Structure 1
Amino acid sequence: MLLLTASYVFYGWWDYRFLSLIAISTLADYFIGLAMVKKRFIKRRKILLLTSTFINLGMLGIFKYYNFFIESWMQAGDSLGFNMHFETLQIILPVGISFYSFQTLSYTIDIYRKKIKPTSNLIEFAAFVSFFPQLVAGPIERASNLLPQFGRERKFDFEFAKSGVNLIIWGLFQKMVIADNCATFVNNIFENYQSHNSLTLALGSIYFAFQIYGDFAGYSNIAIGTARLFGFSLMRNFNYPYFSRDLAEFWRRWHISLSTWFRDYLYIPLGGSRGTRSQKIRNVYIIFLVSGLWHGANWTFLVWGAIHATFFIPLMIAKTNRKNIDHVAEKSFFPGLTESLQMLSTFFIVCCAWVFFRCPSISDSIGYFHSFFQNFSLSPEYLSIGRYSTELLLLLSVFVLIEWTSRTQEQPITGNQKFLKTSLALLMITMFGVFSDHSNFIYFQF
């Protein structure tokens, strides 16, 4: 009850009106879950599952996608000579709606599949849906992992709590030191891309790659660490994704809770890697396009998803998408030439796709690449103009080195030098983070 109350106060502090959405989703899936067990006939169970899907995706569709589809429909009509006009909704996107909608939807799906049994405790289920550390930006938890933890007696574990504090500190470092400092340069470069040369635009995409990674992985680590202080174990959401050797490995390491959600509840039901080659390609495009649309109601996210699908498909056809499942350079400090080229090429593709993710429109994304070739120059103009830009590159190099030396561990603040690492992280948070230009977590908008 304490956690449920705290979670509702936490979310309601932003806008209490949207608490009704969480309450509706909670009550609907709670009673649907109980009713589904009582129904023996598969048809009735399907009707209940469709009801849960309609409620959760319906709320998500109205608040997140209604205006996007209406405006796209009107633009398509105008291009064909039809003067169509539909009313759009003047609404605010509720923070975290994409996260808790998927979390509660997976509960009813797992009950339908008979993987879990429904809970009869409404307080525990409501606390599971609204658990405040991961409510607004994940990880997207499964009921099979998180829900039973609310029914157990928890005793304070000092070592478990210490690991949580270390995750919080590392998450603050990622967010305040890396992401927020990169954001200042990213905003300037992307807003004035027409006047910058090639090297500056390349730096802009690299800076954004580290901004969104530090921002989202930072939040995830803070959420996981905070949950551990209460005795809860949340799933890992990031596993050093920029050391991936291909895009398949990247998606096993990036936003793990979402990629596994789409794998289990969309990709495999569609047929996954079974069937004909055309069916496999179709399934890959569907899952990546839906993943792009999940991130936002904009054509840029669909293009971002399509880019990842296009480079993932050759790996699937060649059956090499499960090739790199171990850690890179696992038995040595330095990677080999082949692994180095693989990591660089994968990072290059990811950075190019991030341009579409970051730009507000398709035309701006194309304009960004057009300026790269039109103003082709590798002169370090931005490094001499931008304040602290050279220092930022040095900071990112240190960050990459820290992550590289910790790539086989859950997080860098561990091992024999935990005290030294913690002290240095807190020092850098104080020096570079407290006085940086703070920005909201990027994934709050999704």
Structure 2
Amino acid sequence: MLFNSLDFAVFLPIVFVLYWFVFKTSLKLQNLLIVLASYVFYGWWDWRFLSLILFSSVLDYVIGIYISQTTLPSKRKALLFTSVFFNIGLLGFFKYYNFFVDSFVSSFSFFGWTIQPNTLNIILPVGISFYTFQTLSYSIDIYRNKLQPTRNFIGFAAFVSFFPQLVAGPIERATHLLPQFYNKRLFNYHKAVDGLRQILWGMFKKVVIADNCARYVNMIFDDYTSYSGSTLFLGVFLFAFQIYGDFSGYSDIAIGTARLFGFELKQNFAFPYFSRDVAEFWRRWHISLSTWFRDYVYIPLGGSQGSKLNQIRNVLIIFVVSGFWHGANWTFIVWGAINALYFLPLLLFERNRVHTDVVAAYRLLPSFKEVFKMGITFLLILLSWVFFRAESLSHALGYLWQMATDNFVSIPQMRPTYLFVLIFIFIIVEWLGRKQQYAIELLWLQYPKVMRWGFYFCIAILIFLYGGQEAAFIYFQF
């Protein structure tokens, strides 16, 4: 079920009313409702894959209990290995089976040998990368003695399948979200209004910014040889706002929806395009995934400790694995490697923690130096986005070559003026709200109610005017 669909517009109020007005006296019934609603939400796409969510829930629930009941290191490791093996195994089969088969065949074809592979017509279950990492964090944290296992299966199943963030995150840790299912939740009007405000802004990002950028991005990338270098640069520029508006918009809707039901999810994007270097960008982009890889892969490998060679190895591993997580395509691996190369000089010269505050924190406008740093960082990210968006490595390299050699300094062949205006307004609002959890969290709150509601009404009108078809979110494919 899509957030930006009529189905969800009907689904959400029904669940809300049942949750707060019918089952408000029973925490167990509220959690059970969340499980059932989440399964309906997910099953709306394809009910057959509900068995995977149920399997992961039962597996890690049982393994968590058994890990806590033994102090024998070998047995604890075996139980953790079982969780990792089955969870990663399912993820690997559905997401990477055909990729490995095709890569194996291509490697032999390079030497002139022909192999007839047995590929499968596998459907990638929506959200499998997200809920797999969420359940894994539960087992790993119990193994590390950072979390006690739950005996409340309904609460745990609700944690795994919680519908606001089920299919595209944020990837929540059991230490943060799971305890919220144990405690009685009381309706808070101010939190609910704040949630609705964040949903509104998320819808604006998705429907107005991302979906309108997508129209031009698809035309340019699908037929890049027909366009000038300046038009190709415009295509990458618009894709940067498409993917940010699409993914951060989903996160905003998810966080706002969770707040309607009394839950707090962690911030997943912190205005990444205002970053002054690539290290800051990765602290602000897809925060839940970046911190997951940091805590469960990067630090266990040694992190930034040890020799320079080990540091380089760890950075390369974490970025390449992160790229591979995004999809079964060499383009994502190269995208990850490029960002590793961006990041390594900052790490090796100990400049990766220079910008940990908000840019121009106590000023309305940034300095020239800050603008320059943000501009360079944004251009570097743009170049890497070509690989993220391209269908293949040859597509990406051809696109970059065409962009660099064919009339780069010229007027683009496409000039969607209305979209430039919308993006400009979007950037201004994001800049004004860059210190908050989301851009319009506190915007206009100090002004009379009529001004606030006028602003919200304008956003709603833009969503209505520029909202096209029900377009799926980009990260559904990951």
Q: TM-score, normalised by structure 2?
A: 0.91
Q: Following the alignment from structure 1 to structure 2, what is the Cα–Cα distance between the partners of residues 48 and 167?
A: 40
Letter in 2 for 1:71: D
1:171 to 179, 202, 219: 202
* CA drift at 1:437: 4.5
1:398 to 405, 425, 431: 425
1:74 and 2:109 equivalent? no
Aligned to 1:201: 232
- Deviation by residue 1:334-391 (Cα, 9 ceiling, x = unmatched): 111111111001000111100000000000000101111231243324235xxxx111
Structure 2: tracts of 5 or more residues without a match: 1-31
Instruction: Please list, as runs of the form range in 1=range in 2, the aligned pairs for 1:220-369 lying within 5 A after superposition.
Output: 220-369=251-400
Q: Following the alignment from structure 2 to structure 1, what is the Cα–Cα distance between the partners of residues 335 and 34?
A: 37
Q: Following the alignment from structure 2 to structure 1, what is the Cα–Cα distance between the partners of residues 138 and 286?
A: 20
CA distance 1:437–1:202, shift in 2 (3 Å): farther
Aligned to 1:407: 434
1:424 and 2:458 equivalent? yes
Q: Following the alignment from structure 1 to structure 2, what is the Cα–Cα distance between the partners of residues 259 and 390?
A: 35
- Deviation by residue 1:84-108 (Cα, 9 ceiling, x = unmatched): 2331111100000000000000000
Q: Following the alignment from structure 2 to structure 1, what is the Cα–Cα distance between the partners of residues 51 and 342?
A: 41
* CA drift at 1:149: 0.7
- Deviation by residue 1:170-198 (Cα, 9 ceiling, x = unmatched): 00000000000000000011011101111
Letter in 1 for 2:114: N
Aligned to 1:91: 122
2:130–2:168 CA contact under 8 A, matched in 1: yes
- The alignment partner of 2:114 has SS state of coil
* CA drift at 1:314: 0.3
Q: Following the alignment from structure 1 to structure 2, what is the Cα–Cα distance between the partners of residues 145 and 101?
A: 16
2:228–2:408 CA contact under 8 A, matched in 1: yes
Letter in 2 for 1:405: L
2:170–2:265 CA contact under 8 A, matched in 1: yes
Aligned to 2:79: 48
Q: TM-score, normalised by structure 1?
A: 0.97
Higher mean C-alpha displacement, 183-192 vs 372-381: 372-381
Aligned to 1:439: 471
Q: Following the alignment from structure 2 to structure 1, what is the Cα–Cα distance between the partners of residues 390 and 298?
A: 28
Higher mean C-alpha displacement, 419-428 vs 330-339: 419-428
2:209–2:245 CA contact under 8 A, matched in 1: yes
1:180–1:438 CA contact under 8 A, matched in 2: no
- Deviation by residue 1:123-159 (Cα, 9 ceiling, x = unmatched): 1111100000000000000001111111110000011
- The alignment partner of 1:383 has SS state of coil
* CA drift at 1:82: 2.5
1:172–1:429 CA contact under 8 A, matched in 2: yes
* CA drift at 1:208: 0.2
* CA drift at 1:438: 4.2
* CA drift at 1:421: 2.9
Q: Following the alignment from structure 1 to structure 2, what is the Cα–Cα distance between the partners of residues 188 and 221?
A: 28
* CA drift at 1:38: 0.7
Q: Following the alignment from structure 1 to structure 2, what is the Cα–Cα distance between the partners of residues 353 and 377?
A: 18
Q: Following the alignment from structure 1 to structure 2, what is the Cα–Cα distance between the partners of residues 285 and 424?
A: 45
4+ residue runs of structure 1 moved beyond 3 angstroms? none
Instruction: Please list, as runs of the form range in 1=range in 2, the aligned pairs for 1:3-18 lying within 5 A after superposition.
Output: 3-18=34-49
* CA drift at 1:81: 2.5
Q: Following the alignment from structure 2 to structure 1, what is the Cα–Cα distance between the partners of residues 352 and 454?
A: 39
Aligned to 2:9: none
Letter in 1 for 2:115: M
Letter in 1 for 2:465: M
Instruction: Please list, as runs of the form range in 1=range in 2, the aligned pairs for 1:178-193 lying within 5 A after superposition.
Output: 178-193=209-224
Letter in 2 for 1:33: G
2:234–2:412 CA contact under 8 A, matched in 1: no
- The alignment partner of 1:59 has SS state of helix
1:197–1:378 CA contact under 8 A, matched in 2: no
Letter in 2 for 1:40: T
* CA drift at 1:429: 1.1
Aligned to 1:157: 188
- Provide the alpha-carbon RMSD of the alignment: 1.0
Aligned to 2:26: none
1:114 and 2:145 equivalent? yes
- Deviation by residue 1:392-435 (Cα, 9 ceiling, x = unmatched): 111111111111111111222223244343222112112222xx
Letter in 2 for 1:338: K
Higher mean C-alpha displacement, 189-198 vs 110-119: 189-198
* CA drift at 1:261: 0.2
- The alignment partner of 1:382 has SS state of coil
Q: Following the alignment from structure 1 to structure 2, what is the Cα–Cα distance between the partners of residues 317 and 377?
A: 34
Counting aligned pairs with the same residue, the percent is: 55
Q: Following the alignment from structure 1 to structure 2, what is the Cα–Cα distance between the partners of residues 272 and 419?
A: 48
Structure 1: tracts of 5 or more residues without a match: none
Q: Following the alignment from structure 1 to structure 2, what is the Cα–Cα distance between the partners of residues 8 and 427?
A: 32
2:137–2:174 CA contact under 8 A, matched in 1: yes
1:106–1:143 CA contact under 8 A, matched in 2: yes
- Deviation by residue 1:22-47 (Cα, 9 ceiling, x = unmatched): 11111110000000011111111000
